[in-house]
Chains A and B, each alone.
Chain A
Amino acid sequence: MSTISQPPHFAAPSAEEATAPVLIRGARPYGDEPTDLLLRAGRIAALGAQAAATAAELAEDGTPVLTVEAAGQIALPGLVDLHTHLREPGREDAETVETGSRAAALGGFTAVHAMANSTPAADSAGVVEQVHRLGREAGWTRVQPVGAVSVGLAGERLAELGAMAESSAAVRMFSDDGMCVHDPVLMRRALEYVKAVDGFVAQHAQEPRLTAGAQMHEGAVSAELGMPGWPAVAEESIIARDVLLAEHVGSRLHVCHVSTRGSVEIIRWAKSRGVDVTAEVTPHHLLLTDEQVRSFDPVYKVNPPLRTAEDVEALRAALADGTIDVVGTDHAPHPDQAKECEWVDAAMGMTGLETALPVLIATMIETGAMDWRRLAEATSARPAQIHRHAHLGRPIAVGETADLVLVDPAERRTVRPEEHATKGRNSPYAGRELPGRVRATFLEGHPVVLDGALATSRTGRTADRTVAP
């Protein structure tokens, strides 16, 4: 459908940086029977006995082959995050493309979509190209910029959607995330306009008038704590409006961070009507509730807010049955001082890239709510399809792009934010034990993470060394 081809995500590595073939031994794709995988020239070259045989031939011919022992580990397609805040340009004290990319790699993400609420906002070809270039230079993961819907995310005038689409960043996803495109006319026009570039609008659904000064989910806990509430209806009313608008103009809508049971019901209804709508849930909304706010610890302050246990149950069920298509981290790093203050003054958001897979294992796999195939679909295949990345989110099969993650589901670790690669220390899971450790991440066959630690990026950067390109 698209006539605009998407550009390569990385500068071609120089000869000395070319990646050696990798033999992964004894990994379990999607939790299935153990097998060997051979990664070569950016693709999955062979599986099973053929992988080991080919690796042996290569070694005999003098080609060095990296062997990775993966017994007991699950092999999954590299994770694709449609919702990441990398903060650069403008808030490099909170995160940079480099540090955020490292966090992504450690979390098993082979692609992240950088939200547009930087400073300046990613509302022009210049900014999205800058972010895209920084991502390519870092080389830890693919960084796909998201373009703003409106100029400066102000919700008033359409940004230059066409120019961003035609830029080297080839933007297809447009979002004012952080802000809701609340004006119904602007939202309608955005949905219409993106049809010309095969794009879609990702909405942060929050009716601003119903959430003025809102601090937390409006319900029993907010009543007790005396905090201005963020009612579920402020999310649900926007989603209801938007699915009807998307249907009316025949466009594609993606709903960011669905957080309520009512939103799930509206999306289920819209899908049953044939509306072209997809939806996302964050890991934190699958695990945490508004009860956490009783601590008044601003690490739990997030937008949309943590909801009730009933909402959590509904979100888990919806993710399992596909009503909610994908998991997006809404990774939102903040400097310490933005969280070491009174709740009302604290910034909203929590880090998520390095804890996403463990939280999903805890909430969806260990509970039996879904299997590894559905997890792979929700974290890789579907987000790639939504963005129409032809070569991403592909199955683990011979000839496919070698974007892979190896995770040890049995290893349980206590989350220590100070050890994270992200600059943000605002992890709501600090001190909590979570299952599942990412042991290795392969980006087009290149091991960016090995033994649970950063190896080298596609452009030759290491944890200690940021090479000027």
Chain B
Amino acid sequence: MKHLLSTASLAHADASAILDTAEEMSAVSTREVKKLPTLRGRTVVTLFHEDSTRTRVSFEAAAKRLSADVMNFSAKGSSVSKGESLKDTVQTLEALGADAVVMRHAAAGAAHQLAAADWTDCAVVNAGDGTHEHPTQALLDALTLRRGRAAAAGVDPRGTDLAGMRVLIVGDILHSRVARSNVWLLHTLGAEVHLAAPPTLLPVGVEHWPAAVHYDVDVALAAEPDAVMMLRVQAERMGGAFFPSAGEYTRRWGLTDERLAVVERLPGPARDGSGAMILHPGPMNRGVEISSAAADSPLNRVLDQVSHGVSVRMAVLHLLLSGDRGPDRAAEAASPAADPSTDRSRP
């Protein structure tokens, strides 16, 4: 694995290696000194052509916990603006000594182009490209699902996949890179994926996806998913075009208090009727795709997702830059013997 560009092209073994490595990284995050020396002297550049403080900060935290130097570029207030070609920008970054480029871009395929062209030798991590993919988001969702099930069963999540899990994704599938990355990754890991959305927010061609498609959320919930992932919907902007109104969207596709009551009674990963997990890539639109009660429900894993995001991104950067192939070296690196707490050279 030289780059992480999409989950569509991610093999089961690579995905599992990332998740297992992320487990090791999570252990680091709970320590007093949350830092590993593995990427000391390496430079990670975050190149964000689109505002996303959440994702950028998560990558930055991940890189810093691995002791990498981090340079942040954003579209606003830097040289990266429309008119300067992608090619020029990346050649500039490479001249600065970047080992990895974490890229968020409004254009689908931007990270692929970067990796495919002979413009750079950097490892490229796609941090979201248009409405195409957002692979680390799907990986953190998979980590959350895997941990949720392992915890319910009282087993170690490492080495497991999502076989036998049923995951329902609800909302604007058409414009969602999160949905796309999740469909491919969850399917690769063995989960059964269900989608529920207004027909206008499903792409033509969705029938070729490895997913069951529902127009009715209540029918989809009756299939007893282990987890329900609610996608953010720009209801005000889309009302009248993709669906009649925000109110109708919420009534028909929102995770309302009434549907929360259904979710709370689902068998869930524990198979004991303790309810399904609720996931959301954030930020949540309370009162639109998710009710306040559902947002604050104990079933909701949003905060777990945030911390898992750092672990997954640490794992990805570690695997791409250390030349390491799996979790064993990471475990070694995370062991107390390799504790970097004595290193003060890179404050």
* Pairs A-B, 6 closest by C-beta atoms: A296-B109, A223-B205, A342-B107, A226-B131, A223-B203, A226-B132
Q: Which residues of B have CB within 8 Å of A224?
A: 8, 180, 205, 208-209
The answer to whether B203 and A345 have CB atoms under 8 Å apart is no
Identify B113's interface contact among A220, A229, A343, CB under 8 A.
A343
The answer to whether A226 and B204 have CB atoms under 8 Å apart is no
Q: In this assembly, does A450 line the interface, its C-beta being within 8 Å of a C-beta of chain B? A: no
A227-B131, A296-B109 known; A340+B85 contact, CB < 8 A = yes
Q: In this assembly, does B308 line the interface, its C-beta being within 8 Å of a C-beta of chain A? A: no
Q: In this assembly, does B80 line the interface, its C-beta being within 8 Å of a C-beta of chain A? A: no
Which residues of A210-249 have CB atoms within 8 Å of chain B's CB atoms?
215, 218-227, 229, 231
Shortest beta-carbon distance from B24 to chain A in Å: 32
Chain B contact residues (Cβ within 8 angstroms of A): what range? 20 to 34
Shortest beta-carbon distance from A298 to chain B in Å: 8
Shortest beta-carbon distance from B21 to chain A in Å: 27
A223-B203, A296-B108 known; A342+B86 contact, CB < 8 A = yes
The answer to whether B108 and A343 have CB atoms under 8 Å apart is yes
Shortest beta-carbon distance from A428 to chain B in Å: 15
Which residues of A255-308 have CB atoms within 8 Å of chain B's CB atoms?
295-297
Complex-state Cα separation, A37 to B110, whole angstroms: 55
Identify A226's interface contact among B86, B116, B130, CB under 8 A.
B130
A-B residue pair count with CB separations less than 8 angstroms: 75
The answer to whether A340 and B205 have CB atoms under 8 Å apart is no
Shortest beta-carbon distance from B117 to chain A in Å: 8
Shortest beta-carbon distance from B9 to chain A in Å: 10
Complex-state Cα separation, A69 to B131, whole angstroms: 57
12 contacts between A and B (CB under 8 A): A223-B209, A224-B208, A224-B209, A226-B108, A226-B177, A227-B108, A227-B131, A229-B203, A296-B109, A296-B113, A297-B113, A342-B107
The answer to whether B203 and A344 have CB atoms under 8 Å apart is no
The answer to whether B208 and A223 have CB atoms under 8 Å apart is yes
B109: nearest chain-A partner, CB-CB? A296
Q: In this assembly, does B40 line the interface, its C-beta being within 8 Å of a C-beta of chain A? A: no
Q: In this assembly, does B112 line the interface, its C-beta being within 8 Å of a C-beta of chain A? A: yes
Complex-state Cα separation, A219 to B209, whole angstroms: 12
Identify B109's interface contact among A220, A229, A337, A343, CB under 8 A.
A343
Q: Which residues of B have CB within 8 Å of A343?
A: 107-110, 113
Identify A342's interface contact among B110, B116, B204, CB under 8 A.
B110
Q: In this assembly, does B313 line the interface, its C-beta being within 8 Å of a C-beta of chain A? A: no
Q: In this assembly, does A341 line the interface, its C-beta being within 8 Å of a C-beta of chain B? A: yes
The answer to whether B107 and A223 have CB atoms under 8 Å apart is no
Complex-state Cα separation, A215 to B206, whole angstroms: 18
The answer to whether B208 and A220 have CB atoms under 8 Å apart is yes
The answer to whether B109 and A342 have CB atoms under 8 Å apart is yes
